[in-house]
Amino acid sequence: MANKKISIEEMSIWDDAHQMLRKAQRDGVETAWDRLAQQTPHCTSCELGTTCRNCTMGPCRISKKMPLGVCGADADVIVARNFGRFIAGGAAGHSDHGRDLVEVLEAIVNNETSDYAIKDAEKLLRIAKEIGIDIEGRGIKEVAKDVMDVFYADFGSRKKEVAFLSRVPKKRKEIWQKLGLTPRGVDREIAEMMHRTHMGCDNDAANTMLHAARTSLADGWSGSMIGTELSDVIFGTPTPKMGKVNLGVLKKTQVNVLVHGHNPVVSEMIVEAANSSDMIKKAKQAGAEGINIAGLCCTGNEILARRGIPMAGNHLMTELAVVTGAAEAIVVDYQCIMPSLVQAAACYHTKFITTANKAKFTGAIHFDVKPRHALAQAKEIVGIAIEAFKHRDPNRVDIPGEPVDIMTGFSNEALLTALGGTLDPLLDVVKSGKIRGFVAIVGCNNPKYRQDSCNVGLAKALIKKDIMVLVTGCVTTAAGKAGLLVPDAVNQAGSGLKEVCTALGIPPVLHMGSCVDNSRILHLCSLIANALGVDISDLPVGASSPEWYSEKAAAIGLYAVASGIYTHLGHPPNITGSQLVTDIALNGLEDLVGASFVIEPDPIKAANLLDARIAEKRKGLGLPT
């Protein structure tokens, strides 16, 4: 964890970051690391989670001297309430993103847009069947309309359980039923979380924690899963392909447009616009050789996995991408977009463009992007970038380094295809121990860590132990820059994993998409568990978010645990002010849902913990450890 004065080398493990951090200093651009130093030390009570601001009799802070808030709430109640709201925030983010995809599907079904279409009809039909919709002899739009209705209903209050519970292993569903964890509706669980944590409602910390788990399950098995599946239906299901990563993907001679945020609904259109001959012509008239789109964070993951669009960087690279002075525009949708980017962009010729009414930034150029006119709007946006190219100052441009190759596009469908259409070959190598297990490393950057040191350190340590690693979100960029997302990386893996990956021609670390795409990993776990006739908690699998920062990452961690997956975090959420809540997270959940959180900042120690867990689960299945 960082304290005040650290060197640039200590801020990140990457050379492109170091170079841009130096340039930021020269150019007078403040970064997250500067602001972290200003904010350190943080408020202790807030770090412990014992500050309550839920009413105006307070705010209250709990300490030995003041053990109760004005209303009488103790540390346990306050910590659980704060944690519950934190989870609700994360679940709301992912799920509202998922809802936006349902709205695009609605526009398609109602013939209100020609900019979006159903690209993967086969997948739509497969999903329809899974959620109990009749497909025989019906037109694709007719089926799509029913899918849309079922998914809209998933957000509401009329259901006993969300649609994709059809994917959940029977034993898992029974556990949820028994504990009252079955997610009924996305908006319902989130609203109930807000209700429970109002003054004078749920004043039993354990009970609040259980509802937090239920809320997270609504995210993982509904909101996020709908987001992933409909994105595949509308934009195509990812297939293996090559891409490139790091700030070196920006091009000196082209109009560079950075797309940042999460939802492919906008970034896909920007890519379409940039590929259109009229825009390319315009760019050439402006003196550029072409238009280069580069991704940041999760919307970058979406277009990387589906189209092989290069990835400029992850969370802590977003400001530094602007510092290159080579970005004509940064086009954002929502989530994880630092407000500071407006000021950073203003230091250069870079245009900062927002596209969602729910995520406006003061000082930005705003477009309310809607399905009906999305492509035309995207062209306008790209036009602004082309115009900005004329004002680029070549003396202030510095694009560091050479891009690194990566392989991407490992959807479950792609994985099954690579395996010859069935899971059996995968199960066989797991049984023999060539692949001992799987760990999903997901989530963010956080300036409290040396950027990506833990993300990369953990991935490297795990593949050495013949544990296959799956990455999403901002860990993608980390693993990619470290050279772990290419087939050649098998040379860094243990002999068993190396043998399997070499035979399949795949890397030992597989890129499965964005953060909502963690739902792919849930789905894969249930496919494997169902094939073996066991629960997810019996599988030799684990999850990890070593450098997480966001509410969404916490929701992901909690739905992983509640789904039966042992989950490592580099640092705890702000819950340590309650022994009870901390105990539930680290131990108590194990008895209830068959998994728990484990906290460990050191990636090597974390790898050993995940390894021990996998060995224990292998033993439970009667497999060699």
Point out which residues bind ligand SF4 (CB under 6 A): 52-55, 57-60, 69-71, 73, 78, 199
Work out what residue 330 binds among ligand SF4, ligand XCC, none; the CB cut-off runs from 5 to 8 Å by kind. none
Q: How far apart are CA 612 and CA 437, in angstroms?
A: 11
Q: Which amino acid is at 93?
A: G
Q: Which is nearer to ligand XCC, 168 or 341 (CB)?
A: 341
Does the footprint of ligand XCC cover residue 515 (CB under 6 A)?
yes
Q: Which amino acid is at 222?
A: S
Site for ligand XCC in 249-268 (CB under 6 A): 262
**Strand, coil or helix: what is 128?**
helix
Q: E strands within 160-252? A: 241-245
Tokens of 7: 């060197």
Binding window for ligand XCC (CB under 6 A); candidates: 50-58, 323-331, 367-375, 550-558: 550-558
474 binds, among ligand XCC, ligand SF4, none (CB under 5 to 8 A by kind): ligand XCC
The verdict on 529 binding ligand XCC (CB under 6 A) reads: no
For ligand SF4, give the closer residue by CB, 40 or 44: 44
- Which position among 87, 297, 341, 467 is part of the footprint of ligand XCC (CB under 6 A)? 297
Bridge partners of residue 468, in order along the sequence: 438
Stretch that binds ligand XCC, among 153-161, 198-206, 485-493, 548-556 (CB under 6 A): 548-556
**305 scored as a contact of ligand XCC (CB under 6 A):** no
By C-beta, is 70 or 179 nearer to ligand SF4? Answer: 70
Contact indicator for 472, 521 with CB cutoff of 8 Å: yes
Q: Which does 518 bind (CB under 5 to 8 A by kind): ligand XCC, ligand SF4, none?
A: none
Of 406, 474, 555, 610, the one binding ligand XCC by CB under 6 A: 474
CB-nearer residue toward ligand SF4: 72 or 180: 72
277-291 exposure pattern, b = at least 16 Cβ within 10 A, e = fewer: eebbebbeebebeeb
Smallest separation, CB 74 to ligand SF4 (Å): 9
Tell me which of ligand SF4, ligand XCC, none is bound by residue 297, counting a contact when its beta carbon lies within the kind-specific cut-off of 5 to 8 angstroms.
ligand XCC
Query: x/- site string to ligand XCC, residues 327 to 366, per CB under 6 A?
Result: ---------x------------------------------
What letter represents residue 513's amino acid? G
Q: Kindly state whether residue 223 participates in binding ligand XCC, applying the rule CB under 6 A.
A: no
Q: Which is nearer to ligand SF4, 58 or 487 (CB)?
A: 58
Q: If you compute the radius of gyration of the chain from its CA atoms, what whole number of angstroms results?
A: 24
Where are the strands (E) in 196-332, listed by range? 241-245, 255-260, 291-296, 311-313, 329-332
Distance CA 535, CA 537 (A): 5
DSSP per-residue string spanning 478-524: HHHHTT-SSGGGGGGS-HHHHHHHHHHT--SEEEEESSTTHHHHHHH
Question: Considering the rule CB under 6 A, would residue 473 count as an interface residue with ligand XCC?
Answer: yes
Residues 395-454 that bind ligand XCC (CB under 6 A): 443-444
Candidates 12, 51, 208, 550: give the one binding ligand XCC (CB under 6 A): 550
Q: Which is nearer to ligand SF4, 26 or 198 (CB)?
A: 198
Instruction: Based on the shown chain and the rule CB under 6 A, indicate whether residue 298 belongs to the binding site for ligand XCC.
Output: yes
Instruction: Give the residue among 352, 357, 386, 351 at the shortest CA–CA distance from 369.
Output: 357
Q: SS3 of 293, please?
A: strand
557 binds ligand XCC, rule: CB under 6 A: no
Question: Quick one: which of 552, 571, 617, 618 contacts ligand XCC (CB under 6 A)?
Answer: 552
Nearest Cα residue to 91 out of 264, 192, 215: 215
Query: With CB cut-offs between 5 and 8 Å by kind, which of ligand XCC, ligand SF4, none does residue 1 bind?
Result: none
Q: What is d(CA 240, CA 576) in angstroms, rounded to the nearest whole number? A: 42
* Torsion sign over Cα 561, 566, 568, 571: positive
Return the closest-CA partner of residue 297 out of 248, 332, 269, 252. 332
Q: How far apart are CA 596 and CA 586, in angstroms?
A: 5
Binding site for ligand XCC (CB under 6 A): 262, 297-298, 314-315, 336, 443-444, 473-474, 515, 550, 552-553
